[in-house]
Amino acid sequence: MSQTISTVAFIGLGVMGYPMAGHLARQGLTVRVYNRTAATAKAWVAEHGGSHHKTPQEAAQGADIVLVCVGNDDDVREVTAGPQGALKGMAAGSLLVDHTTASSDLAEELAGTCREQGTGFIDAPVSGGQQGAINGVLTIMCGGDESEFARAEPILCHYARAVSLMGPAGSGQLTKMVNQICIAGLVQGLAEGLHFAEQAGLDQQRVIDVIAKGAAGSWQMENRHKTMIGDEYEHGFAVDWMRKDLGICLDQARRLQARLPVTALVDQFYGDIQVMGGGRWDTSSLLRRLRDLGRG
Amino acid sequence: MSQTISTVAFIGLGVMGYPMAGHLARQGLTVRVYNRTAATAKAWVAEHGGSHHKTPQEAAQGADIVLVCVGNDDDVREVTAGPQGALKGMAAGSLLVDHTTASSDLAEELAGTCREQGTGFIDAPVSGGQQGAINGVLTIMCGGDESEFARAEPILCHYARAVSLMGPAGSGQLTKMVNQICIAGLVQGLAEGLHFAEQAGLDQQRVIDVIAKGAAGSWQMENRHKTMIGDEYEHGFAVDWMRKDLGICLDQARRLQARLPVTALVDQFYGDIQVMGGGRWDTSSLLRRLRDLGRG
């Protein structure tokens, strides 16, 4: 199990990384953290112990595993392969795990770089949101070598309910993309259904009560209908993040010659929501977009 | 409860109506049946007892409740308000219940006609499919007056798990439309996700195992992914029926000024599947459409 791993580095203490790193500290691991905004890293250390560092390179020194959870491909490149990136601090035999939702190309690129310098790499995007991170019940989709996955798994289990190896480097990212593609069409369908129900003068809650257990049912219907009906979107998974993810999906789909007509359309709708000032709203705000068009 | 109702008529013994009427016979009710293809009505009577009749009008004579389950608006009009329709045979105080998925306009029209002749009307489209009908666990969405609903409910409960009054005449149909709208976007999203997974070379089953419990999860994912991955569509809810339903939805949406961009697009995709010869395939064949475009 994880007995040989005693020191980890955690790069990126955002809404996900902050609680994820916290679970590792509570398991008795020595956690070395880096965050772009240093004040957050200091606050984290004040709460959990461990040490904060000025650069990813410094945080990575002496770590058996370096965990990264930042914004996008460019952020990952900077904190890993940049001039003061973690790769410069990592010892041979250590392991880099990237939790960022990023492109599978980046994952393959980093896997290659790590191989050259005798370190390992796992791409490991997560789902389950901020609550999942806080409660330590994330789902983690991994890509990489089996032996490296076996080393990472016990650490990841400290904040995950399910950790799965999906295939070689990049496969974790590709699996996360499937997840986001399924969600995009699903949430738009749900939004159109609730919008239609409202226009028809139906009691939307009563409609959901009747249809939620049947063939139209979904996690999104179950967990988002109340706030959608209430026109509340100050929570959940932000449109800005979803657009970033869908951009990755559509870019990848172009190269794979996969056809995603509805995903592409819903991505455009999320663009409309950004124009409406809703970049921070939950993805279910597709309903507000339909409503506001009607009021315009 | 239903003690005052002893005789019912059932018009339309298709894949849904045949087992639904069977449940009523097994409850000891006297069931008078009519079916366009007379041989099916004869076979039903041979199996369940009751009586078969040459016209809907004749079947409706002496029935406390007349239940209809046919194909579309025109079929309903013919078997109810046509020259030999059920309305001509119904006594004052009796009740017409339409299980067909049809327009809410038709429901309002029939409710008016029934009111004029001293009978009652409930629109009562169902969900749950052929298996739900056979197992007597349908969901029924009703529109109509409360007192008339109260008379129909104990009869409908013989083949339903849930029977709900959604509002005045037409509200059952409108609720069913919300259900179909939610399904259209959802299934296309699922199809795009599985198509992407295949193009990316992922193990589709493993991907579903990982994401099905999370934010991308749905009844459709749970119940249709195996056959979708296996490219099997000779089951379930046929594309031809879904197109009919979506036609009703889009027509109604136009009048309600509701915006259904993805529903409209998916309706077009179902049109493609009809051109591919897949009118009888399950609605999840949206995945085959994406695949076949790639092979063309």
Q: Do A221 and B166 touch (CB under 8 A)?
A: no
Query: Distance (Å) from the C-alpha of residue B260 to the closest C-alpha of chain A?
Result: 6
Q: Using alpha carbons, select from A87, A68, A85 the residue that is nearest to residue A125.
A: A68
Q: From B162, which residue of chain A is nearest by alpha-carbon distance?
A: A210
Cα-Cα-Cα-Cα torsion B14, B19, B24, B27, nearest 10 degrees, comes to 170
Which among A162, A214, A249 has the least Cβ separation from residue B128? A214
Question: Hunting for tokens 């955002």 — which residue is that?
Answer: A14
Residue B190 is predicted with a pLDDT of 98
Query: Does B3 score more than 60 pLDDT?
Result: no
Please give the CATH number for the structural domain made up of B2-167.
Answer: 3.40.50.720
**Confidence class for position B4, pLDDT limits 50, 70, 90:** confident
Q: Ramachandran region of residue B258, left (φ > 0), alpha (ψ -120 to 50) or beta?
A: beta
Q: For residues B189 and A1, what is the distance between their CA atoms, to the nearest angstrom?
A: 39
**Confidence class for position A5, pLDDT limits 50, 70, 90:** confident
Q: Do A202 and B265 touch (CB under 8 A)?
A: no
Q: Which tens digit of pLDDT belongs to each residue from A226-269?
A: 999 999 999 989 999 999 999 999 999 999 999 999 999 999 99
Are the C-beta atoms of residues B194 and B228 closer than 8 Å to each other? yes
Which among B164, B223, B257 has the least Cβ separation from residue A294? B257
Are the C-beta atoms of residues B90 and B115 closer than 8 Å to each other? no
Residue tagged active-site, from A42, A54, A176, A226: A176
Residue tagged active-site, from B42, B176, B213, B244: B176
DSSP string, B120-185: EEEE--EESHHHHHHHT-EEEEEES-HHHHHHHHHHHTTSEEEEEEEESTTHHHHHHHHHHHHHHH
Is A176 marked active-site? yes
Which among B180, B185, B197 has the least Cβ separation from residue A178? B197
Residue B1 is predicted with a pLDDT of 41
Residue B296 is predicted with a pLDDT of 56
Q: Using alpha carbons, select from A169, A189, A180 the residue that is nearest to residue A260.
A: A180
Q: Which tens digit of pLDDT belongs to each residue from A114-126?
A: 999 999 999 999 9
Would you state the CATH architecture of domain B175-295?
A: Orthogonal Bundle (1.10)
Q: Do B182 and A190 touch (CB under 8 A)?
A: yes
Q: Which tens digit of pLDDT belongs to each residue from A190-202?
A: 999 999 999 999 9
Query: Distance (Å) from the C-alpha of residue A50 to the closest C-alpha of chain B?
Result: 32
Query: Does B155 score more than 80 pLDDT?
Result: yes
Say whether pTM exceeds 0.90: yes
Q: What is the domain partition of chain B in residue ranges?
A: 2-167, 175-295
Residue B128 is predicted with a pLDDT of 93
β-pairing, B126-127 vs B138-143, is antiparallel
Q: From A260, which residue of chain B is nearest by alpha-carbon distance?
A: B192
Residue A1 is predicted with a pLDDT of 41
Residue A3 is predicted with a pLDDT of 46
List chain A residues with CB under 8 Å of B182.
Answer: 189-190, 192-193, 211, 216, 218, 221
Determine how many CB atoms are found less than 10 A away from the CB of residue A53.
21
Angle separating helix axes A239-256 and A171-199, nearest 10 degrees: 120
**Joined tokens for residue A192:** 């159109």
Q: Which tens digit of pLDDT belongs to each residue from B17-38?
A: 999 999 999 999 999 999 999 9
Q: For residues B249 and B29, what is the distance between their CA atoms, to the nearest angstrom?
A: 35
